[in-house]
Structure 1
């Protein structure tokens, strides 16, 4: 079994080290909130990580009360992961972009929500910023309709 290394940051969790053979670990960064679009992004990131034998770095804006559920879901997934709290909950886009750059991520997964016509006029959404400013590819997923 691979050794465990301590991830960085105050809200980080341990993650398995890179696999034997000296290869670097593939990384997928995902933006998470407890909203439907955040849950959809996490589900897709975990599926992609399984398919690609990759680690998931979850950048979250969840309050402490919701972290236990998130940690349990990540642990149950069996996917190597790091949990990272966004330093500025009002600007998680910057944290996603910075984390993806620092970890040389293959891509970022974000969730999208439906916006009203007026909302579409108000530029500056976090999703739009990630789509336009990220150096790596971005996979945008929608939450399933109720």
Structure 2
């Protein structure tokens, strides 16, 4: 079994990775760090730089957790990629970061976190960054 965490280089993403590393250490499980770009997008703020991912892997190693990065592309929604990986790796937990959004923002743009929470067949831990 493993823990799957969706990672973006934001405070919410950092909070999610830290919680996932902690859970993986407590459960003695592997960690899959998922970072994905929208297919066809030339520039996207959710794509982590190699140094961001190296830092995440180093933090996991310091905690004694085996981690690997899964980089991919998604067409419509990052939700499907996270849920497919969780199924493929028989995840014991999915960890996601939450960020504050206005009601109008959620209505117009939707929420990947909300869709993961509602559609996942695996337990989901949702964390917020510290204020």
User: How many residues are treated as equivalent by the alignment?
Assistant: 120
- Report the TM-score, using the length of structure 2 for normalisation: 0.81
2:8 pairs, out of 33, 40, 53, with 33
1:99 pairs, out of 72, 78, 85, with 85
- Give the SS at the match of 1:106: strand
Q: Offset of 1:65 from its aligned partner?
A: 4.8
Identify the residue that residue 112 of structure 1 maps to in structure 2: 98
- Measure the CA separation in 2 of the matches of 1:143 and 1:112: 7
- Measure the CA separation in 2 of the matches of 1:144 and 1:89: 31
Q: CA RMSD in A?
A: 1.9
Gaps of 5+ in 1: 1-25
Q: Offset of 1:66 from its aligned partner?
A: 2.9
Q: Offset of 1:81 from its aligned partner?
A: 1.3
Any residues of structure 2 matched to 1:1-146 within 5 Å, and which? 26-60=1-35, 61-88=47-74, 91-122=77-108, 124-145=110-131
- Give the SS at the match of 2:95: strand
Give the structure with higher Rg (CA). Answer: 1
Bigger share in helix: 2
- Measure the CA separation in 1 of the matches of 2:68 and 2:54: 14
- Measure the CA separation in 2 of the matches of 1:55 and 1:103: 10
- Measure the CA separation in 1 of the matches of 2:53 and 2:76: 18
Stretches of 4+ aligned residues off by more than 4 angstroms: none
